[in-house]
Amino acid sequence: MAGPSPVVDIHAHFAPQRAIDAADRGDAWHGITFSRGADGKFVSQVGASRAPLAWEVPFETAGQRLASLDARSIDIQMVSLTPTMYWHDLDAGNGRGLARDVNDELAEFVERGAGRYIGLGFLPLQDPKGAVAELERAMRDLGFAGAVVASHVHGTDWDSAELFPVLEAAAALGAFVLIHPAKVRASPFLGKYYLRNFLGNPMETTIAAAAMIFGGVLDRLPDLKVGLSHAGGYAALAIGRMDHGHQVRPETRNASKLPSELLKAFWIDSIAHSPLALRHVIDEIGIGRVLLGSDYPADMGEPYPVDFVNSCASLTAHEKTRILSGNIGQLIGERHFEAWRAAGR
C-alpha cells in the first residue's frame, strides 16, 4: 500500500565532480575542455564554442544539497546533467564515454541522498544505438526514472528517423524523457540582454514539441512519457495557431489529431514565472499533466517552486496538490519513492 505522496521537483541539475576537477586543472575530459572564467564560474568548451554555467560557486555535494531541498519544502528532487554539457557534436566514442561516466556519477549522487534524489540519465544522442544501450543501462542497472535530452541533437529535431529509435526504446522501457533546451540555434540574433535564454530557451522547447506533434511521433508512440521544460516554452500560447496551421497546411498532416489534442500527451513543468501563464498552461493541457519544477540551481530557475505554486491565487487547493505531489506517481511509479519512505519521511 502506498504511503504519503512526496513533493517532487522534476527539473534540477548537477555537474559531475570529474568535470569540476577538470575545470580546476584547466584540463579536458571526453573531448571537452573545462576551465574557470574570470568570475570563477565553470566553463565547458568544444572547439570555438564555450558554455559558461550560470550557477553559484562553490558547487554543492549531494549531502549539502539536502539543506536546499529542506529550505524549499521539497521531499525529492529529480536530477540530471547541466545542459551546458550537452555536447552532441563530440565524436561517438567520446559521447558514449561521457554519458557513461556522467550517469555513473549521477548514480553515486542519488545513492548519497538517502532516498531524496531520482536520476534522469544523459544519453549520447549523436550515436542513437549507443543512446538506446545507455538508456537501457540507466533504467536496468542504475535505477533511473528516464533521461534528459536536448531540444535538438546538433541541429537534428525530434521528428527525425535517426532519433526515433531512442524514443521508441523509451516508450518500451516506460522511461520518462525530459526535453531541455540546449545550444540555442537562435543565439546569433539573440545576443543582447541574455535573450538567448529569456526567449531562445522557450523557443527551443516549443520547436521540439512542434516537431514531435507535426512529425507524427506522438501518434506512433502513444505510450511515450515525454516532458517539456519551462512550462512547455511557448507551446500552450501558440497552440491555437498550430491548430489553424494543421487545418490549412498540407505539410502538417502527419499528425492524425489537432495539435491541441496532441499537446495533452506531454508532461509540463511548473516553471512559468507567472501565475497567469501557469493558469493558461493548465487550461490548455489539463491539471493531470503538470509537475513541479525548479531548474535548480540555475539563476533562471524558480528558486522556491513550492512557494510559487502555492502563491498562485487562480489555482484551487486540488490543483496545487496535483502539481506538488499528486501527478508524479502516475508518471514514474511509486517504486521511486520507496527509499524516501523507508527513511521515515
- Peptide bond before residue 58 is cis, with ω within 30 degrees of 0: yes
- pLDDT tens string 176-199: 999 999 999 999 999 999 999 999
Please give the average per-residue pLDDT across 306-314, as a whole number.
98
- pLDDT tens string 13-35: 999 999 999 999 999 999 999 99
Under 8 Å between Cβ of 150 and 88 = yes
> What is the reported pLDDT for 1?
41
> What is the reported pLDDT for 2?
58
Please give the average per-residue pLDDT across 157-183, as a whole number.
98
Residue in this structure with the C-alpha cell 539563476, named with its chain if needed: 299
- Helix (H) or strand (E) segment spanning residue 52: strand 49-52
What is the band of 37 on the pLDDT scale with cuts at 50, 70, 90? confident
- pLDDT tens string 51-68: 988 887 678 999 999 999
> What is the reported pLDDT for 287?
98
> What is the reported pLDDT for 274?
97
Strand segments (E) across 164-298: 176-180, 225-228, 267-269, 290-291
Contacts of 335 (CB under 8 A, 6+ apart): none
Mean pLDDT (the chain) is 95
- pLDDT tens string 117-142: 999 999 999 999 999 999 999 999 99
What is the band of 3 on the pLDDT scale with cuts at 50, 70, 90? low
Residue of 122 and 253 predicted with greater confidence: 122
Concatenate the DSSP letters of all residues of 270-285 into one string.
S--SSHHHHHHHHHHH
Q: Which long-range contacts (CB under 8 A, 24 or more apart) does 27-35 make?
A: 29/98, 30/90, 30/94, 30/95, 30/97, 30/98, 30/101, 31/87, 31/90, 31/91, 31/94, 31/98, 32/85, 32/87, 32/90, 32/94, 32/98
Q: Measured between alpha carbons, how far is 335 from 67 in angstroms, rounded to an integer?
A: 24
With a cut of 70, say whether residue 105 has pLDDT above it. yes
> What is the reported pLDDT for 255?
87
Catalogue all structural domains in the chain, each as residue range(s) with its CATH number: 8-16+61-342 (3.20.20.140)
Q: Measured between alpha carbons, how far is 162 from 129 in angstroms, rounded to an integer?
A: 10
Q: Measured between alpha carbons, how far is 119 from 336 in angstroms, rounded to an integer?
A: 10
> What is the reported pLDDT for 39?
85
Residue of 208 and 58 predicted with greater confidence: 208
Burial pattern 304-335, b for ≥16 Cβ within 10 A else e, equals: bbbebbeebeebeeebbbbbbbbbbbebbeee
